[in-house]
């Protein structure tokens, strides 16, 4: 008898956030444009020194990847030997290639219809798209095919692609389970499995679904897990499904990438949107994170009324609308993206100048995941938290949890000229 798929929820019975991961929506026929378009580089690249095969190195060169980042230097040689890997790295540190390159290197055969050879599980549709976009150019030049499988896009289109034969599938758990239960995909031949952003999947209550899928990957000979933290439900996954894993951790679990400046501003409720508008006007590309979809829409509308080039992105929007907003933001046509946490792991754009927490983050994980959208790939960036009069204690607790200096929020109004040049706050 076929084992039933687990009900959505965590082992401890808490209900995960409501998600639209597999809700029906019009299909998007146009994929996101490449977020980081890089010119080709000569071969061999710096990846060749890590033992990467020539055909994969040629794909990296064609996609413009010349030198590996720190997490890639640590993880790729280990993974190429076939070891299971636990990776903990800074957000935006390049971990997609840290698992993507070994996966492409170790998959040497062509996939049969509906039977992929590599599987990457991710928590959100945005991240599925982003991961596929990073791996696909490298895969194409080395004779491999990659497909993002997620809800909110045409199921029939995805199944048709799978029938043609796809070596690597990047999937969200619910859509993948849907296809598995309908016999529209067979993961028994998957050789390499990657759990990306495993802590976020656990936080969203998807541990039972992830385990249900892993039990069906009966042919896997390598499992890689990448996460900001390796405790809690993530630790359970490691103990249950990874064999003698090698841990790769290049930074402390609470670090972020690049030179990130943390700024705490005390604001009045009626002045918040004007403060956000002023910061975005001076900083450049800005992501504003809100707790709820309703607040997200309201802030976006208010910013537009103030003359800011802003748009909202959250789970209630159709997938094509979300992709369009991300594309415009990546290409610079949109200056301010107002997002709920559904997008915190799905925005992979290197030149975001500032992240604004419209309300203080609920915990240190949310703070890191949001703030990690800026200060990427060696660039400086700002993580700005807006604090109302009744949120000061919450901020103190957050700072203490993050092991940051306990800093009293700086009182500002929207006419403060320093908002146009955040660096001026550092001179106080």
**Do 158 and 116 reside in the same domain of the chain?**
yes
Which of 207, 230, 249 corresponds to the end of one domain? 249
User: Any idea what the CATH number is for the domain that residue 339 is in?
Assistant: 3.40.50.300
Given this model, what pLDDT does residue 34 score? Answer: 39
**Per the domain annotation, does 35 fall within a domain?**
no
**Per the domain annotation, does 307 fall within a domain?**
yes
CB 274 within 8 A of CB 338: no
**Do 282 and 232 reside in the same domain of the chain?**
no
**Do 276 and 241 reside in the same domain of the chain?**
no
Average pLDDT over residues 318-338: 89
**Do 121 and 178 reside in the same domain of the chain?**
yes
Average pLDDT over residues 402-414: 92
Task: Give the Cα separation of 344 and 366 in Å (integer).
Answer: 8
**Do 320 and 382 reside in the same domain of the chain?**
yes
Distance from chain centroid for Cα 346:
4
**Per the domain annotation, does 86 fall within a domain?**
yes
**Do 221 and 316 reside in the same domain of the chain?**
no
**Do 218 and 321 reside in the same domain of the chain?**
no
Q: What is the DSSP letter of 77?
A: H
| pLDDT tops 50 at residue 241 | yes
| pTM of this prediction exceeds 0.75 | no
**Per the domain annotation, does 394 fall within a domain?**
yes
- pLDDT category of residue 317 using cuts at 50, 70 and 90: confident
| pLDDT tops 50 at residue 19 | no
| pLDDT tops 80 at residue 3 | no
Average pLDDT over residues 295-301: 96
Given this model, what pLDDT does residue 182 score? Answer: 96
Share of the chain above pLDDT 70, in %: 87
Distance from chain centroid for Cα 274:
29
Tell me the range of 108-122, 333-347, 367-381 where mean pLDDT is highest. 108-122
**Do 202 and 292 reside in the same domain of the chain?**
no
CB 128 within 8 A of CB 170: yes
Which of 249, 273, 295 corresponds to the end of one domain? 249
**Per the domain annotation, does 41 fall within a domain?**
no
| pLDDT tops 60 at residue 15 | no
Three-state SS string across 199-260, please?
HHHHHCCCHHHHHHHHCCCCCCCEEEEEECCCCHHHHHHHHHHCCCCEEEECCCCCCCCCEE
3 state DSSP class of 170: strand
Given this model, what pLDDT does residue 251 score? Answer: 58
**Do 280 and 164 reside in the same domain of the chain?**
no
Quote the mean pLDDT of the chain: 86
Phi-psi region of 183 (alpha: psi -120 to 50; beta: other; left: phi over 0): left
| pLDDT tops 70 at residue 33 | no
Q: Considering only CA atoms, which of 236, 124, 217 is closest in space to residue 170?
A: 124
**Per the domain annotation, does 72 fall within a domain?**
yes
**Per the domain annotation, does 411 fall within a domain?**
yes
- Please state the domain count of the chain: 2
| Domain that includes residue 159, residue range | 51-249
**Do 241 and 276 reside in the same domain of the chain?**
no
Please report, to the nearest 10 degrees, the dihedral formed by the alpha carbons of residues 45, 50, 54, 59 taken in order. -60
**Do 194 and 269 reside in the same domain of the chain?**
no
**Do 218 and 103 reside in the same domain of the chain?**
yes
Higher pLDDT: 17 or 303? It is 303
Given this model, what pLDDT does residue 27 score? Answer: 36
Which of 188, 215, 249 corresponds to the end of one domain? 249
**Per the domain annotation, does 337 fall within a domain?**
yes
| Tens digit of each residue's pLDDT (9 = 90 or more) over 53-100 | 999 999 999 999 999 988 999 999 999 999 999 998 766 678 899 999
| pLDDT tops 80 at residue 13 | no
Average pLDDT over residues 248-254: 63
């Amino acid at each position: 008898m076929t084992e039933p798929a687990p009900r959505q929820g965590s082992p401890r019975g808490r209900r995960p956030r409501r998600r639209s991961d597999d809700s029906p929506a019009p299909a998007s026929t146009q994929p996101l444009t490449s977020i980081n378009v890089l010119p080709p580089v000569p071969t061999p690249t710096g990846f060749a020194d890590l033992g990467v095969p020539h055909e994969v190195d040629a794909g990296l060169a064609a996609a413009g990847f010349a030198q590996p980042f720190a997490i890639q230097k640590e993880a790729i040689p280990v993974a190429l030997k076939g070891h299971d890997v636990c990776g903990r790295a800074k957000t935006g540190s390049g971990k997609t290639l840290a698992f993507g390159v070994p996966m492409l290197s170790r998959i040497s055969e062509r996939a049969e219809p509906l039977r992929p050879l590599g599987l990457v599980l991710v928590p959100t549709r945005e991240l599925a798209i982003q991961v596929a976009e990073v791996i696909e150019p490298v895969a194409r030049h080395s004779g491999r095919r990659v497909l993002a499988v997620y809800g909110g896009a045409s199921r029939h289109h995805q199944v048709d692609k799978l029938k043609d034969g796809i070596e690597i599938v990047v999937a969200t758990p619910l859509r993948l389970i849907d296809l598995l239960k309908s016999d529209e995909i067979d993961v028994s031949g998957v050789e390499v499995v990657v759990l990306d952003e495993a802590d976020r999947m656990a936080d969203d209550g998807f541990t039972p679904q992830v385990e249900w899928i892993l039990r069906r990957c009966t042919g896997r000979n390598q499992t890689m897990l990448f996460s900001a933290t390796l405790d809690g439900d993530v630790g359970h996954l490691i103990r249950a499904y990874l064999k003698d894993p090698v841990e790769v951790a290049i930074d402390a679990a609470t670090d972020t990438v690049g030179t990130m400046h943390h700024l705490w501003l005390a604001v009045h409720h009626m002045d918040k949107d004007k403060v956000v508008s002023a910061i975005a006007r001076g900083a450049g590309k800005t992501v504003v994170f809100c707790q709820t979809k309703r607040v997200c829409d309201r802030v976006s509308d208010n910013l537009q009324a103030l003359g800011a080039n802003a748009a909202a992105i959250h789970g209630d929007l159709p997938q094509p609308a979300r992709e369009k907003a991300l594309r415009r933001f990546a290409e610079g046509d949109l200056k301010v993206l107002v997002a709920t946490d559904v997008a915190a792991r799905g925005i992979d754009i290197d030149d975001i100048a500032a992240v604004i927490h419209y309300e203080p983050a609920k915990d240190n994980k949310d703070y890191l995941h949001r703030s990690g959208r800026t200060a990427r790939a060696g660039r400086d960036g700002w993580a700005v938290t807006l604090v109302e009069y009744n949120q000061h204690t919450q901020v103190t607790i957050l700072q203490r949890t993050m092991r940051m200096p306990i800093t009293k929020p700086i009182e500002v109004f929207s006419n403060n000229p320093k908002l146009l040049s955040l660096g001026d706050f550092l001179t106080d």
